């Protein structure tokens, strides 16, 4: 779940990164199946230097940060990587907004390893008001995941103040994340109430679906189902009947054990990213139910969807396609099909795609392991 939220944010600032000089092949599937978050992150580190576009390269390095900061014992490495990231961003020049897009990732990484002074110093570099508020949200993710209750509560007040002057769309997008943070620091009932109270209603539906997805991460099916039902009730009232929420609702329905219903909901989707997102959850649900054939069929279908996407300047850049491959690869990995991942990696002519595949899987592994280690503490 956390990976999907991060990707949706980073999709705003990706570009081109194609090169024929690729890293070495992945090991045999039986070895690959034993890889953890660190091994996948290191594979991405080997790819990153040969990504031509500097902003795409930074996205891969950012994802490495997101993965490693969840892994115990990697704190010094994460701090060094974050330091280097800030230095690179400062050296980029050009439009200051380009730098503002990048800083929040280091803010999160510093906060996640307990370096709050560095997190705040980096946040102070952000000039754009909207990105500054996004940076506060990333700071709050870091403190919430560390179970720093008081620090997170103080950030809620700052985030609320920062959202006051944002346009309705951006405010709704940002505010939809707050209930998840509240839930992580033990405010479960307040989180649900917050999600239901968000205006406009489409943002409230988003918040409920995000919260339900997080609840599923921690095994709280009752809350997840309640969130889904509330969100779908809102969707029925929206002018477009919740078209923009269908993917999240279908994904949550699949996670709740109804993959066939989710597959039917997929018929409303047109965007490749949404199709891959929902289809990935359907494949996982089939695999979990013992339907390996159904999972493979869905993964194959999704692979064809991604393969059919062609770059369109200003709409579907090579970076967007790399994220599609990453989402697909994470689903394949979760279904135990590392052979499919290795084959896609070997056939790719994009070092950016390889980097996104590796970091996507690394983030997912690290997040799942963190949940297992902290489930009792959060609940």
Q: Which residues contact 357 (CB under 8 A, 6 or more apart)?
A: 325, 326, 329, 341, 344, 345, 348
**pLDDT tier for residue 17 given thresholds of 50, 70 and 90:** very low
Partner residues linked to 312 by β-bridges:
316
Q: How far apart are CA 54 and CA 91, in angstroms?
A: 11
Domains of the chain in start order, with CATH, are: 167-239 (1.25.40)
**pLDDT tier for residue 315 given thresholds of 50, 70 and 90:** confident
Mean pLDDT of 31-44: 98
- Reported as a single tens digit per residue, the pLDDT across 228-280 is 999 999 999 999 999 999 999 999 999 999 999 999 999 999 999 999 999 99
**How buried is 159 (Cβ within 10 angstroms: 0-12 exposed, 13-18 middle, 19+ buried)?**
buried
**How buried is 95 (Cβ within 10 angstroms: 0-12 exposed, 13-18 middle, 19+ buried)?**
exposed
Q: How far apart are CA 304 and CA 308, in angstroms?
A: 6
Instruction: State the number of CA atoms in the 13 A half-sphere of 66 facing the CB.
Output: 31
**How buried is 348 (Cβ within 10 angstroms: 0-12 exposed, 13-18 middle, 19+ buried)?**
middle
CB-CB contact of 265 with 232 (8 Å)? no
- Closest by CA to 367, choosing from 114, 184, 189, 178, is 184
Between 228 and 58, where is the model more confident? Answer: 228
- Reported as a single tens digit per residue, the pLDDT across 195-236 is 999 999 999 999 999 999 999 999 999 999 999 999 999 999
pTM of the model: 0.93
Q: What is the pLDDT of residue 97?
A: 79
How far from 159 is each of 148, 337, 368, CA to CA, in Å?
16, 41, 27
**pLDDT tier for residue 22 given thresholds of 50, 70 and 90:** low
Q: What is the pLDDT of residue 265?
A: 97
Mean pLDDT of the chain: 92
Structure tokens at 43: 């594979």
DSSP letter at 218? Answer: T
Mean pLDDT of 74-97: 90
How far from 270 is each of 50, 247, 312, 322, 378, CA to CA, in Å?
33, 10, 16, 18, 37
Q: Torsion over CA of 59, 60, 63 and 67, rounded to 10 degrees?
A: -170
How far from 225 is each of 1, 209, 210, 215, 228, CA to CA, in Å?
16, 10, 12, 9, 5
């Amino acid at each position: 779940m956390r990976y999907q939220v991060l990707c949706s944010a980073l999709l705003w600032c990706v570009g081109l990164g194609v090169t024929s000089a690729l890293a070495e092949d992945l090991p045999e599937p039986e070895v690959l199946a034993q890889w953890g978050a660190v091994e996948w992150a290191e594979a991405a580190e080997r790819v990153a230097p040969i990504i031509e576009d500097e902003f795409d390269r930074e996205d891969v390095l950012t994802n490495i940060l997101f993965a490693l900061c969840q892994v115990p014992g990697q704190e010094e490495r994460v701090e060094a990587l974050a330091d280097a990231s800030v230095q690179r961003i400062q050296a980029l020049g050009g439009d200051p907004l380009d730098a503002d897009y990048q800083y929040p990732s280091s803010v999160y990484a510093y906060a996640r390893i307990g370096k709050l002074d560095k997190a705040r110093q980096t946040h102070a570099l952000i000039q754009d008001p909207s990105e500054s508020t996004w940076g506060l949200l990333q700071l709050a993710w870091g403190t919430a995941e560390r179970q720093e209750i008081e620090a997170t509560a103080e950030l809620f007040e700052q985030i609320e103040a920062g959202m006051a002057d944002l346009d309705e769309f951006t405010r709704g997008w940002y505010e939809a994340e707050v209930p998840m943070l509240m839930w992580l620091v033990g405010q479960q009932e307040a989180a649900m109430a917050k999600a239901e109270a968000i205006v406009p209603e489409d943002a409230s539906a988003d918040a409920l679906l995000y919260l339900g997805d997080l609840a599923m991460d921690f095994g709280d099916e009752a809350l997840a189902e309640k969130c889904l039902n509330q969100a779908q009730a809102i969707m029925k009232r929206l002018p477009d009947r919740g078209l923009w929420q269908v993917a999240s609702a279908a994904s949550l329905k699949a996670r709740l054990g109804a993959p066939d219903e989710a597959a039917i909901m997929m018929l409303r989707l047109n965007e490749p990213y949404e199709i891959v997102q929902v289809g990935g959850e359907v494949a996982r649900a089939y695999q979990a139910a013992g339907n390996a054939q159904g999972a493979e069929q869905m993964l194959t279908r999704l692979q064809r969807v991604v393969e059919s996407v062609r770059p369109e300047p200003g709409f579907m850049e090579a970076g967007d396609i790399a994220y599609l491959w990453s989402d697909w690869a994470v689903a394949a990995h979760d279904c135990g099909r590392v052979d499919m991942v290795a084959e896609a990696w070997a056939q790719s002519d994009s070092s950016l795609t390889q980097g996104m595949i590796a970091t996507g899987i690394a983030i997912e592994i690290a997040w799942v392991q963190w949940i297992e280690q902290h489930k009792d503490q959060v609940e």
